[in-house]
Amino acid sequence: MAELAAGPILDALGVALDVAENDQITEVMVPAKVSSFGEGGGTGLVIGTSAGLDWIMQRGLVSTAQYVLDHCDVGELDD
């Protein structure tokens, strides 16, 4: 299995983060759907995290993201 840098992949997929001018992203966790087009095919999930992000913080980020998705009006911004 190859390890790929997430930045170019996220850029190619058009992923952007809406942050204020004085905000700084300090930790990140990226879940990604992976489709295999080789023999046997299939779909999987990979998770990339920033260095030092322990499992407790991973759970916190996932739980908070789920809460936001469930309780807030999340959608694409108008350009």
What residue ranges do the domains of the chain occupy? 27-74
Helix or strand or coil: residue 41? coil
pLDDT in tens, 12-63: 999 999 899 999 999 999 999 999 998 988 999 999 999 999 999 999 999 9
**What is the chain's alpha carbon radius of gyration, rounded to the nearest angstrom?**
15
Residue recorded with tokens 């407790």: 56
- Return the pLDDT at 55: 94
Which helix (H) or strand (E) covers residue 47, if one does?
strand 42-49
For residue 62, which phi and psi values (nearest 5 degrees)? -65, -45
